[in-house]
Structure 1
Amino acid sequence: MPVRPLYAQLNAHGRAAYRAWDVHVDHLVIGAGVVGLAVANALARRWPEKATYVIERHAQAGQETSSRNSEVIHAGLYYPADSHKTRFCLRGREMLYARAQHQPISVKEVGKLVVGRTRADAAYLEQLHTHCRGLGALAPPTALLTGDEARALEPDLSPDITCALHSPRTGIVSAHELMAQLEAELDTLPDGTSPDAQVVYGTSAVRIDPDPDGWVVQTRTHDAAHAGDADALRARVVVNASGLNAPRALNALVAQLRGDERQMIPMYFSKGSYASYRGPGVDRVRRLLYPTPNFGAQAAGAHAHQSLGTHLTLDLDGHVRFGPDAQWLAPAAVPAAPDDAGYEHDFWETQLYPDATDAWFAAMHAAIQQYLPGVERAGLAPDYSGIRPKLVGPGAARFSDFALLWHASRDLGQQRVWQRTLPDVGGGALVSLLGIESPGLTSSLALGEHVAAEVAARVWGEHNPRGRARRYVEQVGHDSLAGWA
């Protein structure tokens, strides 16, 4: 049965009626994953005097995709040279390593081997090597190796391995430490400045409406004391960084964007599960090990960018895990009404752990043994699963890039849904970051830098330079904002 996309929108059932706003902020970021926090951090650094607020529906940062991935710092090997994924991955990689030199964040530049067995694998690695050499000043260094040279670096590799690509710039990072640090800097920046910034947890955006001078965003707090309570604020700039739910905000505006339901943004969900490993066959592994995307039959029928195979990653303590696999989820019914705390649950929330059947273990073990034959089935244990936001479904033949869509709050009827630049019509700006999957963690700081630069150029401009004293247009000050938060 084909996997159908989910077409969903904010306030689909009309439960949130329009409310007049009573608080004004400069920047509102929806979603406190690593990308949302990186954007908020970049905005607060550039404009510490402007109000930058982040709302997050969960009780902690990064509870969805950001905390359920391989925690790899990708070198930037795989994606088209002119893509957002390559641009932001290359820049973000260097920003992460630079940050780790000056801030308490755990990072290891362990390197990676992409390994192959066949002539087709060798040809793929040669193309990858040539591709990387053409990526400019931030191009990741790579080296082509024979099977014997690869085994000299990683003796546990299978004797069937005939070729490899060495990527020394690949690393690992603690995503939780990175997010904690980005959030802490919203209170006090490295230079000692206290920006006008804050993260508000347990709060969802339930409705968004255009306003001549910004966007009116209605929020709902999720706790027993405030269940059903709603607030409305106006933001000059809204950053939609809500990850798995990011298309919902734009889909709610489709009718106003010269569109109809056929132009709504599809939402696909790919579940990737990981297995931890304790046992023989990996005792000497010091690098990340990735099979080529077409290694064996594991990526049959899928575009190579959709699956990099069942690879070996290391955590910062040197522990081994394998994954992720790829399982497409079929959208199921969601609750018809919020729970007692006003929280609307998603169908995929029950999918955050591996479906550890005998068949799953067998498939995982078979994929691993093609390049690490000493790994034993008994040493595998289910670890965790993550859900990746996809803009295209299984079997898609085309590459799907990060999508950064910009909309102005004025003249919505003259704008398109898939609009990649902000029209010069004034009003507020909405930027939606869609399909931010791998290499999203690596790209996060660069995405934040880019959004802040675009906001500087296209929203605030010369009339509101960095450093100008803070002044709310409506004279709504910190006391009112603190009460809302």
Structure 2
Amino acid sequence: MPIRPLIAKLNPHGRYAYRDWDVHVDHLVIGAGVVGLAVANALARRWPEKTTYVIERHAQAGQETSSRNSEVIHAGLYYPRDSLKTRFCLRGRDLLYERAKNHSIGAKKLGKLIVGSTSADSKYLESLHEHCQKLGPHAPPTRLLSGSEACQLEPNLSPNITRAMYSPSTGIVSAHDLMQQLEMELDTLPNGESPEAEVVYGTSAVRIDPFPERKGWVVQTKTKDSTHDLDTDSLLAQVVINASGLNAPRTLNSLVEQIGGNQDEMIPMYFSKGSYASYRGPGVDKVRHLLYPTPNFGADSSNATSSAHAHQSLGTHLTLDLEGNVRFGPDTHWLSPEPGLAQTSSSDDAPDFWESQLYPDATEEWYDAMHTAIRKYLPDVQKQGLAPDYSGIRPKLVGPDAKKFNDFQILWHASQSLGQQRVWQSSLPDLGGGTMISLLGIESPGLTSSLAIGEHIAEELAINVWGKRNPSGKAQRYFEHVGQDNLAGWA
């Protein structure tokens, strides 16, 4: 059965009518996942005098993709040289290790082994090693190993392993520690300064409109404890950063018609579920590194290709947490919305259909498939030692049939002259209006890349927005008509 995307937008039925803004802020970040917090942190560090507000629909940070992944610090091995994934992963890896060291964030540089057992696996690993050597000054160090050398490092590995590649700069991090530290700095920066920044929880964006007269965007927000279903607050933001992860396409899709597009140009939302299993039992007692099979582990050369690093998943691998506990996963299971939901006329809650899928579907078939994948490289792992742990949903812009690599997408739009712009627009048009930046498809290696993405957004805003319009860097107080007390009250 083909996988259907969800095509949705904010305010699909027009329930929320336009209303004038009450508060004016410099930066509004939608979404307090690790990427949204990293962007807000970078903005607050660079412009502590500017107002930076983050709205998050959940009661805590990072309740979706950010807290439901492998928590791996990726070295940057797999992606095309000139891609955003490679650029941000390489830079983000270094920034993440540095921040972890300086701010007591739980992290360990464990290293990882990618292992294979066939001639096709060997060709893949040789090609991957060669690719890594060409990635420039931040290139991850790698070393090719024979099967026996790999088994000396990891005695639990299958004797069938014939080739491996060692990546010493791969590690693990506590995503919770990282997000907590990023948020704490919005209160007090390392230099002791208190920036004009805040995270507001339980608050969703329900409508967005361009406001070219004031070079900004009017964003209507709704709090979960609102006494009336249609009660909203309204604010004017000069810069909007759409970092809402699984729901990020919805915000941009709500502007497609104003941009001059139609339903066919709306951004599809695909949802890839990855489930994890914890493990207690024999066969892993001596494991000290992260262990990854090649994407086509064990396939013969007629069925494997040297370029197949798997755009969709890196396979069922072994990771360790900071306490040394073993976890396997993720597998890959694509979710389809019900036919009635896969329409732009869907209900406001339709994009959250995946929330019922945040736990492994631990059937006997799931256990068998997980165990079979693991035993190919760790033969002594026992099925009865596996237990369902958790599942995460990866935000995809393409479905399972996609054959090409799909990069992170950073799209830029101006609030003025939307009709002259395109939906897929990777640079800010020189139209002099407010800026909206949409971060789409930020999946793996999004956690590793988060600090580099924040750094990049701040740098681009310095060049394209604040550098031109506020070159002195002086504070701009936007409390006209309402006063600072009312701004605090809104937050």
TM-score by length of 1: 0.96
Determine the C-alpha separation between the residues in 2 that align with 1:364 and 1:466. Answer: 58
Alignment of 1:279-358 (within 5 A): 279-296=281-298, 304-332=310-338, 346-358=352-364
Look up the match of 2:119. 119
Kept after mapping to 1: 8 A contact 2:187/2:195: yes
Structure 2 counterpart of 1:62: 62
**Where does 1:81-480 land on structure 2 (aligned, <5 Å)?**
81-212=81-212, 213-223=215-225, 225=227, 227-296=229-298, 304-332=310-338, 346-465=352-471, 467-472=473-478, 474=480, 476-480=482-486
Cα distance in 2, alignment partners of residues 420 and 345 from structure 1: 25
Q: Shift of the alpha carbon at 1:101?
A: 1.7
Residue 300 of structure 1 deviates from its aligned partner by 8.4
Structure 1, residues 268-288: CA drift from partner, whole Å, max 9, x if none?
A: 000000000000000000000
Cα distance in structure 2, aligned partners of 1:417 and 1:50? 29
Distance 1:80 1:121 in 2: 19
Where do 1:30-45 residues align within 5 Å?
Answer: 30-45=30-45
One-letter amino acid matched to 1:76:
G
Report the secondary structure of 1:304's partner residue: coil
Offset at 1:297? 5.9
Give, as a single letter, the amino acid of the residue that structure 1 aligns with 2:134.
G
1:153 aligned partner, one-letter code: L
For 1:285 and 1:144, the matched residues in 2 are separated by 19
- Taking the aligned partners of 1:125 and 1:336, their CA distance within structure 2 comes to 45
Contact kept in structure 2, 1:78 and 1:305, CA below 8 Å: no
| 8 Å contact kept, 1:44–1:195 | yes
Q: How many equivalent residue pairs? A: 481
Q: Deviations over 1:312-357 (max 9, x none)?
A: 000000000000000000013569767xxxx777100000000000
2:362 partner letter: A
Change in Cα spacing, 1:297 to 1:323, as seen in structure 2 (3 Å) is: farther
In structure 1, distance between residues paired with 2:465 and 2:457: 11
Distance (Å, rounded) in 2 between the aligned partners of 1:478 and 1:344: 37
SS in 2 for 1:2: coil
Deviations 1:143-170 (A, max 9, x none): 0000000011000000000000000000
Q: Deviations over 1:185-213 (max 9, x none)?
A: 00001110100000000000000000111
- 2-structure distance, mates of 1:163, 1:461: 51
Instruction: Specify the code of the residue in structure 2 equivalent to 1:221.
Output: T
CA shift at 1:256, angstroms? 1.1
Q: Which sections of structure 2, spanning at least 5 residues, go unmatched?
A: none
- The CA RMSD measured in Å over matched residues stands at 1.8
User: In the TM superposition, what is the alpha-carbon distance from 1:228 to its structure 2 partner?
Assistant: 3.7
Deviations 1:42-88 (A, max 9, x none): 00000000000000000000000000000000000000000000000
Runs of 5+ consecutive residues of structure 1 not aligned to the other structure: none
Q: 1:186 is aligned with what amino acid? A: L
Matched letter for residue 478 of structure 2 = Y
- Given that 1:221 and 1:228 are in contact with CA atoms closer than 8 Å, whether structure 2 keeps it comes out as no
**By how many angstroms is 1:468 displaced?**
1.2
Q: Report deviation, 1:305.
A: 1.9
Equivalent residues of 1:221, 1:227 under 8 A apart: no
SS in structure 1 opposite 2:137?
helix
3-state secondary structure, aligned to 2:42: helix
Q: Residue 281 and residue 294 in structure 1: after superposition, are their counterparts in 2 closer, same or farther (change >3 A)?
A: same
- Once the two structures are TM-superposed, the CA of residue 359 in structure 1 deviates from its matched residue by 0.2
* CA drift at 1:104: 1.5
CA distance in 2, matches of 1:443, 1:475: 40
SS in 1 for 2:114: strand
Q: Distance in 2 between matches of 1:246 and 1:178?
A: 22
- Once the two structures are overlaid, the 10-residue window that deviates more, 460-469 or 411-420, is 460-469
Q: Distance in 2 between matches of 1:227 and 1:316?
A: 43
Per the alignment, in what secondary structure is the counterpart of residue 413 of structure 2? strand
Shift, 1:397, TM fit? 0.5
What is the SS of the residue equivalent to 1:113?
strand
Identical-pair percentage: 73
How far apart are residue 141 of structure 1 and its match?
A: 0.1
- Paired residue type of 2:440: L
Q: Which amino acid aligns with 2:210?
A: P
Question: For the structure 1 residues 402 and 227, does the alpha-carbon distance in structure 2 shift closer, same or farther, using more than 3 Å as the test?
Answer: same
Q: Which amino acid aligns with 2:192?
A: G
Quick one: which amino acid aligns to residue 469 of structure 1? Answer: A
Inter-partner Cα distance in structure 2 for 1:174 and 1:326: 23
